[in-house]
Amino acid sequence: MIENEKVEEMMLELEDKSERTINALESDYGAIRTGRANPKILDKIEVEAYGGMSKLIELGNVSALDARCLQINLWDKSLLKAVEKAILQSNIGLTPTNDGNVIRLVFPVMTEERRKELVKQAKKMGEDAKVAIRNHRREAMDVLKKIKTAKELSEDETSVCEADVEKAVSSFMSTLESIISAKEKELMSI
């Protein structure tokens, strides 16, 4: 690594942006319904409660009863209807059942066709993440060009820095590949 403040800053920014991209993909993948009960599917649902919007996961306990059923046990039972409404409006494809105490979400068995649709969706999300990382690489390379043009780096130093950027991007891309293939495998397993 070349000792240059701007280069170090650029590398840190590249790593930070790339890690945020990967974290965002993992978060988005958590929301894809796989046919198994996964409490993460409820992470982004907001409920109108106490005069404002609150995340569903902040209003009670969410637990998986079995492989195909989630149970939401609210601390304040007066919010049952509001939570039901929020789940229905969230378009996650599940219909809540309310017994007056808890809300249950039963995940239907997914068809092969639906699994393939979800794999396509997951691949597209993965491709979008790859494009974002390539854009981060391009931004880093632009910074290197500006530093070189300003004669703050020699030709050789610039080549070393470009190789460092490529190495970092390759590492992030392989991480993305493993996340994408793991999600595809999860979606296609019955």
Q: For residue range 5-61, what is the model confidence (pLDDT) as tens digits?
A: 888 899 999 999 999 999 999 888 877 766 667 777 777 788 888 888 888 888 888
Tokens matching residue 20: 């945020």
Residues 101 and 115 in one domain: no
DSSP letter at 94? -
Residues 182 and 88 in one domain: no
Which residue segment(s) compose the domain that 56 sits in? 39-106
pLDDT score of 184 more than 80: yes
Query: Strands 60-66 and 46-49, how do they pair?
Result: unpaired
Please give the helix or strand (H or E) that residue 48 lies within, else none.
strand 46-49
Report the C-alpha gap between 126 and 109 in whole angstroms: 25
Average pLDDT score over the chain: 86
Q: How far is CA 130 from the centre of its chain?
A: 13
Residues 125 and 183 in one domain: yes
User: What was the pLDDT predicted at 190?
Assistant: 60
Domain harbouring 16, CATH code: 1.10.132.20
Q: How many CB atoms lie within 10 A of CB 10?
A: 22
Non-local CB neighbours of 4 within 8 Å, separated by 6+ positions? 147, 152, 153, 157
Q: For residue range 135-170, what is the model confidence (pLDDT) as tens digits?
A: 999 999 999 898 888 888 888 888 889 999 999 999
Lowest mean pLDDT among 25-39, 66-80, 120-134: 25-39
Domain harbouring 91, CATH code: 3.30.1360.40
Residues 58 and 13 in one domain: no
Residues 101 and 118 in one domain: no
Residues 118 and 182 in one domain: yes
Which of 106, 121, 144 corresponds to the end of one domain? Answer: 106
Residues 50 and 85 in one domain: yes
Residues 89 and 125 in one domain: no
More confident position, 68 or 137: 137
Residues 120 and 27 in one domain: yes
The SS3 call for residue 115 is: helix
**Number of structural domains the chain divides into:** 2
Closest to 78 in 3D by CA, of 100, 45, 54, 51 = 100
